[in-house]
Structure formats: C-alpha cells, structure tokens
Amino acid sequence: MQLTLWTYEGPPHVGAMRIAASMEGVHYVLHSPQGDTYADLLFTMIERRDQRPPVTYTTFQARDLGGDTAELVKRHVREAVDRFQPDALLVGESCTAELIQDQAGALANSMGLSMPVVNLELPAYSKKENWGAAETFYQLIRTLLKDQAPAELTHDPKAWQHQGRRPRVNLLGPSLLGFRCRDDVLEIQRLLSMHGIDVGVVAPLGATVADVHRLPEADLNVCLYPEIAESSCAWLERSFGIPFTSTVPIGIGATQDFLVEVHNLLGMTPPSPQAGIRQSRLPWYSESVDSTYLTGKRVFIFGDGTHALAAARICKDELGFEVVGLGTYSREMARPVRAAAKAMGLEALISDDYLEVEAAMAAASPELVLGTQMERHSAKRLGLPCAVISTPMHVQDVPARNSPQMGWEGANVIFDSWVHPLMMGLEEHLIGMFRHDFEFVDGHQSHLGHAGGSGAVAETEVAVSTLKDELVWTADGEAELKKIPFFVRGKVRRNTETFAKSTGRNQIDSETLYDAKAHFSA
C-alpha cells in the first residue's frame, strides 16, 4: 500500500486507451465498473478531442458480481462489434475487473469474431500508463503482423537504392496524450522529406489497421518516443529484420545525430553538421550577446525519460546552463537517466512522489525549472520560473499553434519557451544598473508586484529553515539584504547562507554578505 496524493501516470488501461483512441478503426472493450469512464475526459477535455475515445466500458455493478459477469462481457463485446464494426478489437480489464478474473480477452477470443482480437493483460497493480500504452501497441502490432513475418530475415534497409524509389521510414510512438506528438510528427515528416526520405506509416497516431499491415514495407523504423514504441520497434527488428533509430531528435545536437543515424542506416551520405544545425535559430540566439546572461543558469529538470534526457543535453551543450538536478518518473527509463545524471556529476531522482521532487527542487536552488505541470506548480510555490517539457498532459500542453519539440523548429520553440521565463540579458543588465532607484525598493514594485509577493513567501520559508541550523541574520545583514532587488534576493540569501555555513559562521551581517558576493563572483 502506498500513500499517493497525486500521480504522474494513470493506470495501464489508460495507456491502452491512448493507443485505441490514437488509431482509426480500433475499438477497445474495457471490462470495468462505472466510474472508470472518467478516462474519456482525458481525451475530450484535456486533448480537446471532438470525438469520444473508441471504448466500450462494461460498467458492472455490485449486483452483477453475484451473477454472470462473463455473459456481461460477451454482451458488451457483441454490442460494440455490431455498433462500431471495428477492424481490430482490443479487449482488456481495468484494476477491479482484474480481481474478478473473468478473463475478458479470452472470452472475446472464443466468440468467433470476424476481426482480429487482441487480448490485453495489463497488470493494474504493478504497472502504469506508459507501460500499458507500449504493451498495447506491441500486442496489437504482433497480433496483426505475426503471420506476415518471414521465415528468414532478409530485410535490407538499403534496398530502396536498387528499387528506383526514395527511402521510406515509419514514425512509431506518437500518440494522444503524448507531449506535442501532433506537432512533432509534422516537423519530422518535413525534416525527412527535406532529405529525400519518405514517411510510410505514422503509428499509432492516425494509423488504421491497414496501415499497421504496411509497417513491414518500410526500410527503417524511427522510434520517436521510446516509452511507447521501443518494444514494438524491437519486435519488428526481431521478426522482420527492420532496424530502428535510437536517437530522439529533440535539440539541435540530437536532431543532427538523428539525421546522421537515419542516413547511415539507409546507406545515404549524412548531411554536414554546419548545414543542418543552422536551419534552427537556436544556435545564433544562444550565441548572441543577450544570451551571455544565460551562462551557468542553474536548471532543475524532471519529466518523462525521453524529454528529461533531451532537456539535460540541450541545457548543458546548447544553452550553457548548469544542470543541478535531473530526474524522471518513468521507471522504465531509469537506467539512461541515471547514466546521464552521473555524467553531469549528479545523482538522478527516480520518483513518482511529487513532494519528493519538490523537496529536491528546493534543495538544488535552481534558477529555472523544466518539468511537468506539477513541477510548474511546485516552482510557483518556490518563486522559481518554470517551463513545461513533459506529460502528464494539461489542456495548456495542447496549444492551438504549431509547437513541436523535435527537429529544427522544435529547437526554436524550446529556446523561446525555456528562456522567456528567465530574466533576459538586457533586463538583468538594466536592473543591475538601476537597482538602487526607488522603483525597486519594496512597496514600489509596480507591475512586478506579484512576483515580489511570491518571492517573499519563498524567502520566509528559507528563513525558517535556517533557524534550525542556527544561522542568524543580524539587523545590519537584513538591512543590506533589503537593498538587493526582491527578485534576486532569495538567491542572494541562499548563496550567503551556504557561504556562511561553509566558512563556519553562525551569524550573517553586512560584511558576510559582501564576503559571499566576492566568493561567488570570484
């Protein structure tokens, strides 16, 4: 039993719903009590879908449990098949149905239905949403394609060269309730087509059952979101010999690496880094003088595995930030995230407890947080700027405009959305110059008043925590601190306290403040 106040991922059957709802002609019969239908609103409200997810819930009640729930399952399967006439049927159970052991999938399999039936067994008490999505996608592909698998693996990803056609790849992994998948697909299609590479099938997003049957026609599979598609890509490689990419093209370095990987696998000459990278404005924006002020900004990163890893690389190599915290709630991605953190001299935080994440965030005293919507709220409480980089989805993460994370345009979007929450260089410079002017004195914070308010709250908390460590601010020290603009005061307070502790002082006066200033700017 685990106390959970909030959860990053839903149960695994919600992952299965994401696959069914992403595709066309696939229907999902979910053996579940009433109430589980709440999951529809994830799609129709958060993702703002204009149609219900293709799910039939058996909605059994207590009085059904004494009777024949198996017959109930069959009735709903029959009704769903008659009404929706799907090309493929997924049948599975939610947490409660798993306990009553009706074996809904096996029952449906025994009904002699004309379409393929995928029996989903998603252990609700040990697995979560992303795992459920990956497993469903894999089981569906396997069920539909296993009879097509060749006896001998003869697939040659370079075969297109002799067939008088352009190379062809599948994009695997984009799904509903995935972070910016809709826009990433467009961006990657555009990117590949610039390099003369065709996209065969995109799946699960927008794919039909017929599309799934066409998967083996591609030269290469692009694994866009490993959380969802890696197990499917691996099976397609094992069964059909189709290789798949391992680089996720988020950030300019990763996009370039991705292009090189794709070209090499397809037997093409990779593009030069110079030509490619300058397609994005991120390099110049990061090089321009205004961005000098971004140097060494302390960044705390938390999200799903794919986006957290990408963010760490971009922050360190492309924006010149210092990564002071890195973590993920995706246990399946713990290993690569641990390795990336270690390479940066950090210990990765692998957790699905948002309070633990918030505590780690506070302890790392970052200047910018890149996280999920929950970290956005935590950061707000701590008075820190934040940009959202990962699911779980919020209605704000499905913007009306095109807003990819992947490819060259994705890097542009990332530059804007991560840097804008920070003080821009010019602003910071001016504030340094004019900080003694009355506008910056407390009580005259003009339109920045709210930021001042939340900053003040964070400060009080810090002050309380320092009391425990018996650090005392003298009146003279407090007065000096007050002269510092409110929006950097919290940082100065923390730095000074860290400095005071490290030098064994238990009292902070104005001299300590200046000593600390000299220490940190040295």
Partner 1 sequence: MSVNLLKETGPREVFCGLTSIVWLHRRMPDAFFLVVGSRTCAHLIQSAAGVMIFAEPRFGTAILSERDLAGLADAQDELDRVSRELLERRPEIRTLFLVGSCPSEVIKLDLARAAERLNDELRGRVQVVNYSGSGIETTFTQGEDGALSALIPLMPSTDQRQLLMVGTLADAVEDRLIHLFGRIGIDSVCSLPPRQSTELPAVGPGTTVLLTQPYLTTTARLLRDRGARVLTAPFPLGAEGSRSWMEAAAKDFQINAEQVASVLDPLVARAQSALAPHREILNGKRIFLLPESQLELPLARFLQRECGMELVEVGTPYLNREQMAEELALLPEGTTVMEGQHVEKQLDRVRATQPDLVVCGMGLANPLEAEGIATKWSIELVFSPIHGIDQAGELAELFSRPLRRRELIRQALNPPSSAPIDSDPVHA
Which stretch, 60-68, 112-120, 167-175, 437-445, contacts partner 1 (CB under 8 A)?
Answer: 60-68
Which stretch, 75-83, 171-179, 245-253, 317-325, contacts partner 1 (CB under 8 A)?
Answer: 75-83
126 scored as a contact of partner 1 (CB under 8 A): yes
Determine which residue in the list 67, 68, 83, 434 makes contact with partner 1, applying CB under 8 A: 83
- Residue 304: which of 396, 217, 371 has the closest Cα? 371
173 scored as a contact of partner 1 (CB under 8 A): no
10 scored as a contact of partner 1 (CB under 8 A): yes
| Smallest distance from partner 1 to CB 93, Å | 11
Determine which residue in the list 20, 77, 90, 124 makes contact with partner 1, applying CB under 8 A: 124
| Smallest distance from partner 1 to CB 62, Å | 4
13 scored as a contact of partner 1 (CB under 8 A): yes
Strand, helix or coil at 370?
strand
| Smallest distance from partner 1 to CB 94, Å | 6
78 scored as a contact of partner 1 (CB under 8 A): no
Residue 424 corresponds to which tokens in the numbers above?
Answer: 């821009």
Determine which residue in the list 19, 23, 39, 333 makes contact with partner 1, applying CB under 8 A: 39
Residue 374 corresponds to which tokens in the numbers above?
Answer: 């929950």
79 scored as a contact of partner 1 (CB under 8 A): yes
Residues paired with 89 in a beta bridge: 27, 117
Residue 212 corresponds to which tokens in the numbers above?
Answer: 């799934």
Is 290 annotated as catalytic? Answer: yes
| Smallest distance from partner 1 to CB 33, Å | 4
What is the total count of residues that contact partner 1 (CB under 8 A)?
58
CA distance 215 to 146: 12
Query: Could you give phi then psi for residue 4, rounded to 5 degrees?
Result: -130, 120
114 scored as a contact of partner 1 (CB under 8 A): no
| Smallest distance from partner 1 to CB 31, Å | 11
CA distance 384 to 413: 21
Listed in order, strand segments (DSSP E) in 111-254 are: 117-119, 168-172, 198-203, 220-223
Give the residue with the Cβ less far from partner 1, 117 or 177.
Answer: 177
Residue 239 corresponds to which tokens in the numbers above?
Answer: 């069964």
Beta pairing class for 322-328 and 349-350:
parallel
399 scored as a contact of partner 1 (CB under 8 A): no
| Tokens 């929006």 belong to residue | 487
Exactly one of 198, 290, 353, 416 is catalytic; name it: 290
199 scored as a contact of partner 1 (CB under 8 A): no
Determine which residue in the list 2, 114, 269, 521 makes contact with partner 1, applying CB under 8 A: 2
125 scored as a contact of partner 1 (CB under 8 A): yes
The Cβ of residue 113 has, within 10 Å, a number of other Cβ atoms equal to 15
Determine which residue in the list 22, 28, 60, 192 makes contact with partner 1, applying CB under 8 A: 60
57 scored as a contact of partner 1 (CB under 8 A): yes
Give the residue with the Cβ less far from partner 1, 377 or 501.
Answer: 377
430 scored as a contact of partner 1 (CB under 8 A): no
Beta pairing class for 26-31 and 55-57:
parallel
161 scored as a contact of partner 1 (CB under 8 A): no
Q: With b meaning 16 or more CB within 10 Å and e meaning fewer, what string describes 334-365?
A: eebbbebbeebebebbbbbbbeebbebbbebb
Determine which residue in the list 119, 189, 373, 474 makes contact with partner 1, applying CB under 8 A: 373
417 scored as a contact of partner 1 (CB under 8 A): no
Within residues 274-333, the interface with partner 1 by CB under 8 A covers none
DSSP one-letter string for 381-429: HTT--EEE-SPSP-GGGS-SS---SBHHHHHHHHHHHHHTTSPPHHHHH
SS (H, E, C) 81-96: HHHHCCCEEEEEECHH
Residue 282 corresponds to which tokens in the numbers above?
Answer: 């991120």
Give the residue with the Cβ less far from partner 1, 47 or 509.
Answer: 47
Which stretch, 62-70, 224-232, 443-451, 462-470, contacts partner 1 (CB under 8 A)?
Answer: 62-70
CA distance 138 to 274: 38
66 scored as a contact of partner 1 (CB under 8 A): no
- Residue 471: which of 496, 508, 435, 445 has the closest Cα? 508
36 scored as a contact of partner 1 (CB under 8 A): yes
Give the residue with the Cβ less far from partner 1, 54 or 157.
Answer: 54
374 scored as a contact of partner 1 (CB under 8 A): yes
Strand, helix or coil at 323?
strand
Determine which residue in the list 25, 116, 123, 421 makes contact with partner 1, applying CB under 8 A: 123
Which stretch, 7-15, 203-211, 343-351, 480-488, contacts partner 1 (CB under 8 A)?
Answer: 7-15
339 scored as a contact of partner 1 (CB under 8 A): no
Cα 192 from chain centroid? 23
Residue 49 corresponds to which tokens in the numbers above?
Answer: 């879908």
Give the residue with the Cβ less far from partner 1, 200 or 303.
Answer: 303
Determine which residue in the list 70, 96, 143, 501 makes contact with partner 1, applying CB under 8 A: 96
| Tokens 């965030």 belong to residue | 361
Query: Could you give phi then psi for residue 415, rounded to 5 degrees?
Result: -55, -50
- Residue 141: which of 88, 195, 206, 83 has the closest Cα? 88
Residue 440 CA: distances (Å) to CA of 48, 269, 433, 457, 458: 43, 57, 11, 18, 18
Report the length, in residues, of the chain. Answer: 522
Catalytic residues, by residue number, are 290
Binding site for partner 1 (CB under 8 A): 1-7, 9-11, 13-14, 33-45, 48-52, 56-62, 64-65, 76, 79, 83, 94-96, 99-100, 123-126, 128, 355, 373-374, 377, 381, 394
